[in-house]
Structure 1
């Protein structure tokens, strides 16, 4: 069951619901009562995107219209801006792009831009990283509060490959950013980071599953978020260490700030370990801003709203600082600061 299948078949019974354990906090069947018509095609042109100036190539997927494959030659480095643009009012669309890295470094600067309203969208994104290759995927969402948006990324690594990801979620009526990684061990490495910044009645769900299938693999995950008003955040992180995946080193951390009484965070970090010789740990905290730090800032003449923004920016800044691409890191840092400042 998936939103994409429902869009393609017109069958609402294909929507995931709270009866599905992995979707219990992001129920779509109880939310979507009718399916809108398919989104129009041949839309555009569009103004330059947030990351266009950093990219060697810009790929635009508008209303699900474009299926693209980018294959890197051995030793090549490339920065690609992939813009998923929803330019429809009350439309529905889906798309399955694919990218493959042979042996090189690919930086994907991926944005989800809602120029319409009330739309349904699912993007299924498939990545394959060969031995010696690496991908850094930076995902930033900027969608309207009434949209329903699902993004699923399936990543397959070969031994000796590396994959790093940073997701920045601003939420929507329902927004789910889901990543599945097939980890082979063999010296392969994975970093899965995330930031969510939610206000109003926005909902964001960051769900990840990493399956370690072989000896000597690493996973490092850090997700931080801030929710206020009546917003709701969901974090589901699962790391599976299969039989025989010895010497796995896997770390997961999720930490959230809740700034209002009616805001909500649902977190479910999980470790499933079926091997003996491993080093695995996870941590999870949900709390409020440090009142002493807030008082300290205000005593030095910083207005209350600005002090809150500075403290929350510093809180999520640890994740932003882990972005490897310097240009993208600075753009994301500025975008986060603007978003937090506007939300105060």
Structure 2
């Protein structure tokens, strides 16, 4: 071990970094592994203010997202993607070495990575057979776990399975966690099923937190802009922890344009196109005799269980099509996630699928 490595904390030495689509990489031309939109809109930027530090919470961005989401400005925090929001919530509400977060895998990997980085334990309570939260198991864990559960993360639509948490189950969890911990619902993909948002429950539960992003439906993964919707006291506490200048001025400028009436109209048109393309793709995939299961259709991706998922993933990679392989994840043997890309990209995927024999 090098002398530099010896200087690092023991916690960091033991960490395994989150393997994002970019870190995994792959040689290809058709990248459908990161749930990105196939293309973005065009934006204009002014450079006249680039000599100045930006606002910590640019008021024009907060105002624009308040208008879009229907949530009051004082209940919104903007951050570098919803990933930063996840990390802030862990650091704000969990004591290292004493507290824990609760997740239900399979789910988004950054929850546990954020906890690991902060020295906070992750408690994993497996979901029910339909991938809904196991309410009684969560209740038992919250009430009896040696480490105090301070934050529960629920991804809805869930990445990678695509299911949305039932209102009744979420309300049950919110009822027995009141005064005990935060319940965070990650709505990164909610624009693909907006009627299933849980924002409506915020008025009755001050410990319900919603995280959002411009990366997916708004096609702005490259600018790293996300939002936390929460009780004003939660926002005030997070503002104590967030860095002084999290949102670069060009990011703020683009976000305001994306959240304008015109920008939202473009987003909704994009979402409608992607949903139509996703549904056509699923219809064709279901015809393949080696497809064993197609998971929930609520986002801009679809998780598919194949007879031989690893073989299919490799066959696509050999043709320059990079998908996301989940065969090593709990309950997802032979599963591959496919991002819904452009018409040409999806036709190429189907062409390769039809050429595979399993």
Same fold (TM > 0.5) = no
Structure having greater relative contact order (Cα 8 Å, sep ≥ 6): 2
TM-score band, normalised by shorter chain = under 0.3
Report which of the two has the higher share of helix.
2
Report which of the two has the higher share of strand.
1
